[in-house]
Amino acid sequence: MSHISPIDSVGHDSDVVFDNIGMTFGTGTGSTQAVANVSGAIPEGKFVSVVGPSGCGKSTLLDMVGGLLKPTQGTVSINGETVTGPRKDTAMVFQEDSTLHWRTVLDNVAFGLEVKGLPKTERYESARRMIELVGLSGFEDHRPGQLSGGMKQRVAIARALAMEPRVLLMDEPFGALDQQTRQFIGRELLHIWEKTRNRVLFITHDIQEAVYLSDEVWVMSARPSVVKEVVTIDLPRPRPEGTHSLPRFRELEDHLWALVKVEAEKTLGPGARLA
Amino acid sequence: MLVALILLWALLSTMSDLVASPAESLSALMDRFADGSIYRHLNATMQAVAIGFLIAAAVGFPLGYAIGRSKFLGAVFDPLVAGAFAIPRVIFFPILLQIFGVGVGAQSAMAALAAVFPIMVSTTAGVRAINPLLPKLARSLSLSPLQTVTKIYVPAMAPSLMVGIRIGFSIAFINVIIAEFFAARAGLGLLALRAYGMLDLPTMYGIIVLLAAIALIGNLALWAVERRLGNKQL
Ligand SMILES: Nc1ncnc2c1ncn2[C@@H]1O[C@H](COP(=O)(O)OP(=O)(O)O)[C@@H](O)[C@H]1O
Ligand SMILES: [Mg+2]
C-alpha cells in the first residue's frame, strides 16, 4: 500500500523534482535545521499532499518550491530548470487571508495577470472564468471585506488558478476555516482540480483532507525533517461524496495517522496531537 | 453647533466692548478683500502652509515607510521620534529665523518641521499594520519593487496615508500662524496681531474667522476623501 523513500521516483525533466534539498535557518549555535533532506518528484497531473507535525518544515518546503526561500542544500527543479526565485509557472495560496482588501473580487482574481502585463479585456475574461470555477459568480464587484473567510480563500485560489500555473502550491489553504467550510471547499477544489489537472503541492494537517484530495501523501518526520514515507492514495477518481466511508479510505487514514502520530510524539512527547 | 457658536459670539459682543460683533467682523473682512490689501497676507500664509506641508510629505512619507519596513531603522528611530514628540517644535523657530531670516522661508520651515512628525508616525504605523502575507504575495507574483510599492503598499496603507495628510495639513497650518505671530513680513497671523495692536477688533475677529474657516474647510475636504477611501475598503 505504500512505498518507502520517494527517491526512486525522481524522474523526467518536466517533473517538479526535489534533489536532496535541505534548509537550515541561521548559522552557528543559533541555527535551526528545518528540513534535513528531501528528495522526490511531483509527477505531471498529480495532487501531492504533505502532512507532518507542526514546525517540521512543511511551509519551508513549499516556500523553496515557490522560490521564496533558497535551499541551503540541494536543488528544486521545475521542467528541468533549477528554481532560483519565484517563477511564472508556480502560484501560491496561503493559509491566512491574502486578498487585497481595496480591490474588487474581479480585480483580486485578475491581479497576477495584471502584474504579468496582460491587457484588461484578456485578464478580466480569464478572471471571470476562474470566479465561476470557484463558485463566486455574482460577487465580482464585491470587496473582500464583504465576504466570508471561505469566500476569501476561494478568491485567493481563483487568483492562483488564473495564472494557469504548472504547479499550484497551497500552504494549509483551509487551515483557518471551520470544519464544515473546509470540507465543502475541499470538495470544490477537487472538482476544479479534476478539470485543470495541474500539479498540486498541498500542505495540510488534516489527514482526512489529505487522503480525500491526493494521489500521494508525503509524511514528513519531525524536524530536521525528511520524507518518512510516501503513501499512494489508490482511491479511484472522481471521488464522490461517499468516498470518506469506503473501507480503503479508512485504511489509508489509519495508516497515515499511525505514521504521523509517531512523529508528533517525537516533537511534543507521548499523547501529543498532530499540528 | 456652528450656529450655536455664532449666537454665543453675537451675545458676547453685546456684553463686552472687547468683542466685535459677527456682522462688524465680517464686514471688516470684506473690506480687506475689497481693497485687495488682504491678498498679500493670504498668499504668504497659504504659500508657507503649502511649501511646509510638501516638504514634510516629501520627507515624512519615505522616512516613515523606511522606518516601518526596516527593523534596524525602527530600532534607531522609534525612540528618537517618540522623544521628539515631547519637545514643542515651535521652540526651534528662533533658529529657523536665524537661518532663513524673517519671511515665508522661516514659516515654511516651521510648518515642515512640525508636520513631518505626524506624517512619519502615521506612515510607520500604516506599514507595520500591513498584512504580512501581502509582501510575500508580491514576491511570489514577482512584482517589481516599484509595483510592490504602488500596487501593494500604497493602496494597503491609503487610510493611514490620508490620516497623515490630514493631520499634517492641520499641524502645518497651525504652525505657520504661530510663527507669523512671532515674526513675519506678511501673513494672516501677522495681520491679526497688527489689528490687535491697533485695537482694530472687527478686523482681528474677521481674520480669526477666516483662519478658522480655512482650517475647517481644508480638514473637512480631506476627511471626506478619507471616508470615501474607507468605504471603498470596507
Ligand atoms: N525565517 C525563519 N527563520 C528561522 N527559523 C525559521 C524560519 N522559518 C521557519 N523557521 C523554523 O523552521 C522550522 C519549520 O518551520 P515551518 O516550515 O514553518 O514548519 P511547518 O510549516 O511544518 O509548521 C520551525 O522550527 C521554524 O521555527
Ligand atoms: Mg506551516
Q: What is the pLDDT of residues B3-20, one digit of tens each?
A: 898 889 898 888 888 888
Q: What is the DSSP string of A229-262?
A: EEEE----SS--GGGGGSHHHHHHHHHHHHHHHH
Q: Mutate which of A59, A64, A92, A260 to test ligand 1's pocket (most atoms within 8 Å of Cβ)? A: A59
pLDDT per residue, tens digit, chain A (275 aa), is 444 444 444 455 568 999 999 999 998 888 999 999 999 999 889 999 999 998 999 999 999 999 999 999 999 999 889 999 999 999 999 999 999 999 999 999 999 999 999 999 999 999 999 999 888 999 999 999 999 999 999 999 999 999 999 899 999 999 888 888 888 888 889 988 988 888 999 999 899 999 999 999 999 999 899 999 999 999 999 998 889 999 999 999 999 999 999 888 887 776 555 54
ipTM over 0.90 threshold: no
C-alpha cell at B158: 491609503
CATH number, domain containing residue B130: 1.10.3720.10
CB proximity B150 to A under 8 Å: no
The backbone torsions φ and ψ at residue B232, rounded to the nearest 5 degrees and listed phi first, read: -60, -35
Tell whether A103 is covered by a domain.
yes
**Interval between CA A43 and ligand 1 midpoint (Å):** 26
Identify whether the C-beta of residue A54 lies closer than 8 Å to the C-beta of residue A203.
no
d(CA B110, CA B174): 10
A20 vs A7: CA distance, rounded Å: 9
> B61 lies in a domain?
yes
The residue of B130, B131, B141 whose CB has the most chain A CBs within 10 angstroms, and thus the best one to mutate to test that interface, is B141
Of A133-137, A181-185, B165-169, B217-221, the one with minimum mean pLDDT is A181-185
Q: Say how many domains are in chain A.
A: 1
B40 touches chain A (CB under 8 A): no
Contact yes or no for B139 and A101 at CB 8 A = no
Distance CA B128, CA A63 (A): 23
Other C-beta atoms closer than 10 Å to the C-beta of B60 total 25
Q: Which amino acid is at B180?
A: E
Q: Quick check: is A113 in a domain?
A: yes
Strands A90-93 and A167-171: parallel
How many domains in chain B? 1
Interface test mutation site (partner B, options A84, A88, A101, A142, max chain B beta carbons within 10 A) = A101
User: What is the A221 CA–ligand 2 centroid distance (Å)?
Assistant: 14
Within a domain: residue B183?
yes
Give residue A199's pLDDT. Answer: 93
pLDDT score of A58: 95
Q: Residue B56 sits in which domain range?
A: 34-187
Domain span holding position A144: 90-164
Any domain includes A143 = yes
Rounded mean pLDDT of B172-179?
A: 95
